[in-house]
Chain A
Amino acid sequence: MRDVAVIGVGETEFGELWDRSFRDLGIEAGLKAIQDAKIASEEIDAVYIGNMSAGKFIDQEHVSALVADYAGLADMHLPTVRVEGGGACGAIALLQARLAIASGMYDIVVVGGAEKMTDVGDVQAAEILSSTADQEWESVFGATFAGLYAMMARRHMHEYGTTREQLASVAVKNHKNGALNPEAQFQKEITLDAVLNSPMVAEPLGLFDCAPLSDGAAAVVLCAADKARKFTDTPILFKGSGQASDFLALHDRRDLCTMDATVVAGKRALAEAKLEPKDIQVAEVHDNFTITEILAIEDLRFVEKGKGGPATLDGVTALNGKFSINTSGGLKARGQPVGATGVAQAVEIVKQLRNEAGKRQVVGARRGLTHTLGGTGATAVVHIFERGD
């Protein structure tokens, strides 16, 4: 299997983008990535799109063809694939595209992720999000998406003594990072008190423990590694990828305080890369809620199980701390257009490894990791990237 590199990245700003449609967003990110890669349209072999729920948000299915069409590629009759996997769809799309190039089938693939979440009302958007949980046995009974993560937080507090302050410190850190990121939805720092006093959404999670609903898109151009130098001096290589699934419903999981899918996906990625967590300097992990980041850094073995809370409060995962986690601001501050997440996380890691992260640069970043979840953890995808030189 051939090595695969990222040769171009692009993303829109994330936020409530009233004047831009789903099509506008997908195209903008894709064109930016293509320009960054300095490739011509004719060189693209396939397009992969990660999108969670265009059908419910904007009544549009078949978005793979749609995006390729509006990107001006319809005449090329490219193969286009839309990937769904809850919030992990962008990361799964990356993996699928990587496999397609590694197999030799394609040389250059554009991978985009996009979501337009604000064309429906808040309540409806929340219900659409919770359709990635178990609709028949969780959502119907009143469990909201935030409620399910809140139940994980409650159990984590019960078993490991994690506190609301420790949870809140995730949000504080990510907003601090987001303030350094011109593309982030929120560019203001917030205080621990503000998080602790924000209105309750599902106890113990308050409004500021939760990532926003956002519009946005991100895209990368993948290329066979042995051809990448034609386009860029700083190809960023996939060193390892891992994907795993788990029981759909939270109540069926082996341990409410561990996402087994993350553990397995992380192990698979590290095994392929022949690396240990200590070899990773920067990581974008799924932080749709503050508890999710705490579980992620434990399950990826950046810290010991149960110690995610104190580690975050102590600054272990701060920018240029022992591990720089969510330098982009994370889903929390950078924004959460669901389908875009996995791809946007890769864009951030690529920028970090290229030394193009500006004020939020992790000094000496050589290897980075992305971690993306679907639903309440029924899918997890981990990618590990390394500078090509």
Chain B
Amino acid sequence: MRDQVIPGFLNQLNTLASQFATAFNAAQAKGFDSNGNVGGNFFSVSSGTAGAAASLSVAITDPSQIAISSDGSAGSNGNVANLSAALTGSLPSGQSVSNGYANMVFQVGSDASNASSESTAIGQNLLQLTNQQSSISGVSIDEETTNLIRFQTAYEAAARIVSTIQQLSTVTLDMGSSQSY
């Protein structure tokens, strides 16, 4: 999970970020900003996909740098269609940004849900095995107490025998004494 699945998701997210930023920047370049200049990059993103999502940031410093105009005049909005197409259109990955992201959310959710189910199942297994083990090796206070009573009784019985024998021998030894009856 940690070494394979999560890096896979990170890679997907980076690819998505990188491709979207590239597509949006390309759409920017097709138009002109409010000052009549060719649209510059809207997003700055690291080259290559590694770390693209983390490095994604807005490059423009002023709303007037958004390339809305298609013909260079300030009032035109002809390039908006290109800009919004970057969101709805297909990226090089073959799917749109929204679909790509929705798929990722599904995969992450599904994997997390599977992992949590597996964890519960393994927990149940552990509990069952612990129970099986303890059913053989576990110490029951009730059992031990019962045994304790048994041994105590046996000890008492043995002690009674010893004391009886002692009494007997005392009586027997007294028989030969000088005392007359």
**A and B bound?**
no
B interface with A by C-beta (< 8 Å): none
